[in-house]
Amino acid sequence: MFQMLDIGPLELNVNGEKRTVVARPADTLLYALREHLGLTGTKNACETGDCDVCTVLIDGWPVKSCHMLAVEAVGHQVNTIEGIKGSPVQTAFLAKEAFQCGYCTPGYIVTAHALLTLHPDAEDEVINEWLAGNLCRCTGYQEIKEAVLMALGR
Amino acid sequence: MGAVGTGVPRKEAKDKVTGNIKFVGDYISPGLMHARLVTGTYAHALLKNIQTAAAWRVPGVKAIVTGKDCSFLTGAYLEDRPPLAADKVRYYGEPVALVVADSELAAKQGAEEVRIEYEPLPAVNSVHDALRPGAPRIHENLGEYRRVKPVFPETNSNIADRVKVRKGDMGKGWAGSEITVEASFHLPQSDHVAMETRCVRAEIAPDGRVTIHSSSQAPFVIRKLISRYFLIDTGKITVIVPAVGGSFGGKAAVQLELLAYMASQAVGGRQVKLVNTREQEIISSPGRIGLDAEVRLGATKEGQLMAAEITYLVDGGAYSDIGAVMTKSIAADCTGPYKIDNVQCDALCVYTNHPYTTSYTGFGHASYTFAIERTLDMLAKKLKMDPWQLRRMNAIAPGDTSPTLTGLTTSNLGDTGKCLDRVKQLINWDEGQVVTGQDGKIRAKGLSALWKTSSTPTDARSGAILTFNPDGSLNIGVGAVEIGQGSKTNLAVMAAERLKMDVGKVHVMMEVNTHAHPEHFKTVASMTTFMAGRAVLEACDDIIHQLLSMASIVLRCSPEDLDVAGGRVFLTDNPNMYVDITELVHGYKYENGNSIGGQVIGRGSYIMRHLTEMDPETGKGNVGPGWTVGAEAVEVEFDPGDFTYKMLKAVAVLDAGKVINPRIAQAVVMGRMNMGLSLANREGLIYSGSGVVENASLRDYKIMRFAEQPQYTVEFIETPQIDAPYGARGLGEHGLIGMPAALGNALSAAARVELNQLPLLPETIWSVKEGRP
C-alpha cells in the first residue's frame, strides 16, 4: 500500500491521463481535483458527505470526493464530469430540462452515468436508491427521474 | 419565426451538463488569499475579550479582522447590524472575526485558534418571548439606528417594524358576520439550502479601484453598499457575478461582500476569497423568516367573507435586513386572493436571538398563505361548506380592491377563479376530499389559492444594451443574474420574437458586470422577465428604428415601407428587394468606400410606474405593477396507524399572463412546488433552550430527496398583463406559495385534526392529535 507521511507528489490517473499533484496527506480528493488540477466541474457543497454534489467515479463507481483522500486515489482510475463526454445521460438531462442552476448537475450526471454502465437494466427501486443521495434544490426531481429513465432507454 | 411560447432550451445548457460552467468559487489561483469566519457560540452574550495571539502564531496567517476594525452598521431598511459583532453577539453563528491567510488550511487553523470570552445574556427564543413585558432588549440603541428607507422601529422594545393595513370598517364587518373562526399558527425559521454556498472574492487595486466577485442576486446593491460604507466612489467599484448556484432569495442579501472587502484591505488589497461552510451558510448568513400568526375571519351563513383581523409576527431574527421589507409585503397581500371589504392587519417584524433573515422564494407569502388557507378550511367546516366552493365564491376579481386599496383590473390581477376551476379538475376534487381505502389508509386532498405582487422599491429599474456581431447575431447586455431561473434565455426569446430573428443567433452571457451592464435593481421577486424584458423590448425597437432608417437610404425608400425579419431589412410590398442586416449593423459601406450609419446599438430602459410607499397608518399604497394569481392542490395517502404519509400528487395552475418559454416555466414552477413541500413536510431550524441552532448541517437539516416527490402537474392560464412584455406576469416563486397550505389542509382532513404548525412531520400530527405540547 502507498504510504504518505508528508506533503509530496502523488501520481493520479484522472480522466485517462496521468497527472502529478503535490498534496498533503490530509488533502481530500475533492480538494486535489479542484485546487491542484483545476477540475472545477466537481463542486463542493457540504464536505460532510450529505449531498453527493462532489461525486466522482473511482474505477467506475460513484464516490463522494469530499470523503476520500487524494492519496487513497493512487492506483485507481478517477473520472470526473470533465471526463464524461457525450454520455446519453447528458443528452437526456438536456432533453428533459433536468437541471436549473447547474451546481448539483455534475454529481447527478456522474452518478447516473455509472448507473447506466453498471446497471443498464436498473428497475425503479435501483434507480431511486442510486440517486437518493444526491440533493437538488432547484428541480422537482421528477424531471431528473425522467432523464435517467430516458438515458436507460425507457 | 415566433420564439415566444415555443419552448427554447437554456442558452447555458451544454455548459451545465458538462461541468464547464463557472461559479465564483471555481476561480483557482495560487496568489489568492483565503479568509475564514470565526462565529459566535452563544445566541446572546456580551463579547468580553477576543484573543488572537494563538491565531497569529499559525504559519500563513496574514491578518485578523474583528468588530473593532469596522465602525459602521449595515442593513437594508434599518442599519442595525455590525458586519462583525462588536460589543455582543445576538445570534448563534454570528460572525465575530475574520482570519486571512495564504491558504485555505491556514485560514481555517487560524480561525480555530481565535479565543472569545463571553458573558452570556438571557436569549430571546421566540417572537412571543420577544414581545413579553420585561423581555431582554436585543438592540439597546434601537431608536438611534439610521433608517435608510421607511421603517418604524419601536424604541425600548424588540419591534423592528410595524406595518398596519386598515381597509373598510371592522365594526360593520363583524356585525355582518354570522359565523366567525379564529386560529393561531406557528411556522419556524428555515434555510434556503442553495447547493452553492455563498462565496466572494474581493481585491483593491493600487489606485483604489475595488473589484468584487460574488455569488449574488444583487450586484448593483453590493456596489452601492461598498461605496456607502467604505466611502469609495461607485464608479471605482466593479462587481462581477457569474452564474449563481441557486439562491432562492438568500443571495439578495449583502453580507460576505463587506467582510471580503475588509479582508482584502487588511492584506494590502490582495485578492481574498471568502466562502461559507455549509454550517455558516445555514446559521451565519441570513435564512428564512419564521412566522406566528393569529387570524380571525367572519362570514355570512352563505359563506361570503365579511371581515378579517390578522396579526402576523415575523421572526426576523437578530437583525432586520430584508425581514422588515417582507413584513410589509406580507401585510400588503395579507388576505390572500379573496374579496374581503373589512380588513385589519398588523404585521410586526420582531427581533429574536435567532439567525437573521432575508428574502426567500415567495417573499413571506407561503407563510401567511398557510395561516389564511388553513383558517379558510376551518371556516368551511364550520359553515358545512365545500372548501373549494368557499374559495371560489370569494375569489378576488377585477373591480375589487387589494388590502392596500389598489384597484384591481383584468390586467393587473388575472383570473383567480379560472385557476381554481382548473385545479379542481386536475386534482379530481369531485371524487371527495377524503377517501378511505380498504387497507385503512386515507387519501385526502387539500387546496390553496395564492397571489403575490412584487413589493419592489417604487423606483426599481432595469436596462438593456444590445449590440451586433459581424455575422448579424445579437448580444444582450443586461444586469440581471442567472440563478437557475432561465431569465437570460427568456430575454433572448423575447428579443428574437421582436426582431423576428432566429433565437440561436441571440447571445447572452452569464456574467453580470456592473461596470459594463446597465443597472438592474436586483434579480428578485420574479421580476426579471418583466423589468429586464421591458428594457430589452425597448432596445429592440430602438434597433429596428436604426435599421429601418439606414436601410431606407440604401434602398431609396421611406422607412415606413420597410420591415425587419430573418436577418434582412426588406420592402414590405416586395421582400425580394432587401439589404442583409450584416451589411447594416456596423454601418453601411457603398462600393466607392463611402460609409453611413455607424454601429447599430440598441438602448432600452425601464422604471417602475405609479408605485407608492404604504401609508404608515392605513397601509394604503400601490406596492407592485401587478399580481400573479394561482391555485394549488396536494393529495396525500395518510396512515392513521402511525401518522406517516406519502405525498401522491401536487398540482399548480398559475395565471402566467403569457408563458414566454414553456420548457423553463414548467420546470421552474415544479421546482418551487418541490421546495414548498419540502419546507412544509420537514424543514425548520431547531433551537436549544438557549437559542443555539441544533441542526446546522445537511445531515440534520433535511430537505426533500429524490423519489420522495409526488407526481407534479403544472398548468398555466394566460390573462395578459397589458403593460408586461408580451403580457407575461412575474412567474416562478409562485409555485411554492400554496404548497405548505395545501399540504396542511390535506393532512388536517386526513387526520381529522387542525394542523396549524409546520413542519408536518408524523410526530407533529401525532402530538397535535394526542393533545401534547
- Report pLDDT digits (tens) over B233-260: 999 999 999 999 999 999 999 999 999 9
What distance in Å separates residue B732's CA from the closest CA in chain A?
A: 11
What distance in Å separates residue B160's CA from the closest CA in chain A?
A: 31
B306 with B391, same domain: the answer is yes
B695 with B756, same domain: the answer is yes
B408 with B343, same domain: the answer is yes
- Domain boundary at B553, B588, B607, which? B607
What distance in Å separates residue B434's CA from the closest CA in chain A?
A: 26
Output the pLDDT for position A1: 54
Q: Does B671 touch chain A (CB under 8 A)?
A: yes
Please report the sign of the dihedral spanned by the C-alpha atoms of residue B328, residue B330, residue B336, residue B337: positive
A139/B667 touch (CB, cutoff 8 Å), yes or no: yes
pLDDT tier for residue B2 given thresholds of 50, 70 and 90: confident
pLDDT higher than 90, residue B7: yes
B641 with B516, same domain: the answer is no
Identify the CA nearest to A30 among candidates B454, B58, B104: B104
B707/A128 touch (CB, cutoff 8 Å), yes or no: yes
For residue B426, the number of C-alpha atoms closer than 13 Å in the C-beta half-sphere is 24
| Residue B287 to residue B355: CA distance in whole angstroms | 7
B322 with B274, same domain: the answer is no
| Residue A97 to residue A99: CA distance in whole angstroms | 6
Looking at every residue in chain B, the average pLDDT score rounds to 97
pLDDT tier for residue B523 given thresholds of 50, 70 and 90: very high
- Please give the average per-residue pLDDT across B579-596, as a whole number: 97
B268 with B322, same domain: the answer is no
- Domain boundary at B607, B632, B650, which? B607
B197/A143 touch (CB, cutoff 8 Å), yes or no: no
B560 with B506, same domain: the answer is yes
B698/A85 touch (CB, cutoff 8 Å), yes or no: no
The string of pLDDT tens digits covering residues B24-73 is 999 999 899 999 999 999 999 999 999 999 999 999 999 999 999 988 99
What distance in Å separates residue A103's CA from the closest CA in chain B?
A: 5
The string of pLDDT tens digits covering residues A123-151 is 999 999 999 999 999 999 999 999 999 99
pLDDT higher than 80, residue B542: yes
- SS3 category, B182: strand
What distance in Å separates residue A100's CA from the closest CA in chain B?
A: 4
pLDDT higher than 90, residue B391: yes
Identify the CA nearest to B355 among candidates B692, B725, B750, B8: B692
Residue of B nearest to A86 (CA): B18
What residue numbers bound the domain in which B547 lies?
A: 460-607
B272 with B310, same domain: the answer is no
Q: Mark out the alpha helices in B7-51 (DSSP H runs).
A: 13-17
Looking at every residue in chain A, the average pLDDT score rounds to 96
Q: Which of B21, B483, B705 sits opposite A135 (nearest CB)?
A: B705
CA dihedral B513, B515, B520, B525 (to 10 degrees): 40
The residues in B 79-138 lying below 8 A from A, measured between CB atoms, are 104-105
Output the pLDDT for position A5: 79
Whether B25 is in a domain gets the answer: no
| Residue B82 to residue B262: CA distance in whole angstroms | 13
The residues in B 507-566 lying below 8 A from A, measured between CB atoms, are none
Homologous superfamily (CATH) for A8-80: Beta-grasp domain (3.10.20.30)
Output the pLDDT for position B713: 98
Whether B20 is in a domain gets the answer: no
The residues in B 184-203 lying below 8 A from A, measured between CB atoms, are 192-197
Residue of A nearest to B678 (CA): A137
For chain A, give every domain's residue range: 8-80, 88-151
What distance in Å separates residue A18's CA from the closest CA in chain B?
A: 21
| Residue B755 to residue B743: CA distance in whole angstroms | 10
- Please give the average per-residue pLDDT across B253-281, as a whole number: 98
- Please give the average per-residue pLDDT across A42-70, as a whole number: 98
pLDDT tier for residue B21 given thresholds of 50, 70 and 90: very high
Q: What is the CATH number of the domain that holds B520?
A: 3.30.365.10
Residue of B nearest to A124 (CA): B707
Q: How many independent structural domains does chain B possess?
A: 3
Q: Does B670 touch chain A (CB under 8 A)?
A: yes
- Cβ–Cβ pairs < 8 A, chains A and B: 157
The residues in B 230-269 lying below 8 A from A, measured between CB atoms, are 243-248
- Please give the average per-residue pLDDT across A73-102, as a whole number: 97
| Residue B45 to residue B769: CA distance in whole angstroms | 38
pLDDT higher than 70, residue B1: no
Neighboring chain B residues of A92 at a CB cutoff of 8 Å: none
B64 with B202, same domain: the answer is yes
Q: Which of A28, A138, A149, A150 to mutate to test the interface with B (most CBs of B within 10 A)?
A: A138
pLDDT higher than 70, residue B219: yes
B15/A102 touch (CB, cutoff 8 Å), yes or no: yes
In the beta sheet, which residues pair with residue B715? B653
Output the pLDDT for position B525: 86
Q: Does B733 touch chain A (CB under 8 A)?
A: no
pLDDT higher than 90, residue B750: yes
Whether B570 is in a domain gets the answer: yes
CATH architecture classification, A88-151:
Orthogonal Bundle (1.10)
- Domain boundary at B583, B607, B631, which? B607
In the beta sheet, which residues pair with residue B311? B294, B346
pLDDT higher than 60, residue B417: yes
Q: Which three cell numbers stand for residue A66?
A: 469530499
Q: Which of B195, B243, B699 sits opposite A137 (nearest CB)?
A: B195
